[in-house]
Every structure is written in structure tokens, then in C-alpha cells.
Amino acid sequence: MTKNIIELKSPGISEDTIRNLKKGDVVSISGVMVTGRDVAHKYLKDTFISSQNPPESEKLVLENLKKYLDGGILYHCGPVVYKDENNEYKFSAAGPTTSIREEPYEYDVIKLFNLRGVIGKGGMGAKTLKACQEFGSVYLHAIGGAATYTAERVKKVIGVGKLEEFGSPEAFWIIEVENFECVVTMDSHGDSLHESLLLESEKIQKEIMASF
């Protein structure tokens, strides 16, 4: 039986909408999301979470990001980007980055921006799962190994932050997407598909080893 696809419009996703999602649900996101991976997460933690008084120039960056991330989606992605004949940015590849590298930062980033979703691949740990429970967020698993296909879901690059400082893969790309499909693998109720699969795999492994 095919699961119903739940449509989300980002930003402005309500906490109630997220609380109604369960592990295994399939969602389709349209609207605006922001990319950010290792360098971006460390910057956010060092500049706005650990620091008591960030520079005014950096506060402007934070304010701009909040426009799109408050009630919105952060995508763990280091895209391949080019400029077309009209000198506009285009994504040619936009596959998800392995998310566990952001585990030291994600709780605080979810709290800082009131994030409703984080997209990546491979799952995240207990601290991120706790943030999903406390703040009403979910971890969404995107398709790995289909970067070109995923890039087709990106309809427009709205803007980019920290490009010169961080470089293209690590910059904050603000993108408009359409029908960007993901699976909820960590929900706001403390359920993690990644943890369930790990426990099941360990059980099967023990049964196999016991048979020898």
C-alpha cells in the first residue's frame, strides 16, 4: 500500500503540523529552504550560540537567515552550482550530506531558528532527537546518490550567504524548491527509524552468530 504524501510549505510550517508527522511518513516540500553543513553549523554555534555579543555585521546575517528558517527547513547539502547565460546561479547537483557530522551543533541550531525540519542522509543522534521532541521538529531523509535528480527540485536560487568566506559547498544557499520529497526518519515523538533498524540488525546478527 502506497503511503499518502504529506505536503509542507516552507517556511511557516506550524508545530502542530510537525507533531502530527510520524516516523515513516513521506513529505513533499515546496517553498524556501536553506542549505548548511559543517562550516555553516560551526559558524552558527561559534558566532550566535556560544558568543554573547556577535558583531553587528554578523547580526544582519542572522536576521536574514531567520526570515527563511523560522518555521522552516535546513538542508545538509554541499551543492554544485554554476552561473547560466543570464548570470543566475543554478544547481547542477544537490544531494544530501551525511548528517551525523552536524550532531554536535544541531540541537542548538534547531533551537536558535525554531526549525521545523532538517534534511540530510544517514540519520542523527540522541541529542538531535531530543531537540525534535522539545522544539517540534523532524529529521527528514533525502535520496542519496541522486544529486542531479534532486537538483531538478530546486527551481530558483534566491540568495547566498558567506559565499566568499566559506566557498560554494559550505555557503548558505537560499533556494526555492518544488515537490522536494523526503521520508520522516526521526519524529517529534522520540521515534527514530535509524535506531530501530540498528536494533533490528543487531538482533539478526546475534541470531546468526548463535546458529554457528
Residue 158 has pLDDT above 70, yes or no: yes
Q: Does position 198 have pLDDT exceeding 70, yes or no?
A: no
Catalytic residue among 41, 76, 141, 194: 41
Per 3-state DSSP, what percentage of the chain is helix, strand, and coil (rounded to 5)? 40, 30, 30
pLDDT confidence of residue 1: 46
Chain-wide mean pLDDT for the chain? Answer: 91
Known active-site residue 141:
no
- CB burial of 103-116 (b: ≥16 within 10 Å; e: otherwise) equals eebbbbbbebbbbb
What's the DSSP call for residue 102? Answer: G
Number of other residues whose CB lies within 10 A of the CB of residue 3: 9
Distance CA 183, CA 196 (A): 15
How many domains does one find in the chain? 1
- Cα distance between residue 94 and residue 76, in whole Å: 10
Q: For residue 26, what are the β-bridge partners?
A: 5, 183
What are the pLDDT digits (tens) for 128-150? 999 999 999 999 999 887 889 89
CATH number of the structural domain spanning residue 42: 3.20.130.10
pLDDT one-digit tens code per residue, 35-66: 999 999 999 999 999 988 888 889 999 999 99
Question: Is pLDDT above 90 for 108?
Answer: yes
Range of the domain at 48: 5-210
pLDDT of residue 143: 86
3-state secondary structure at position 125? coil
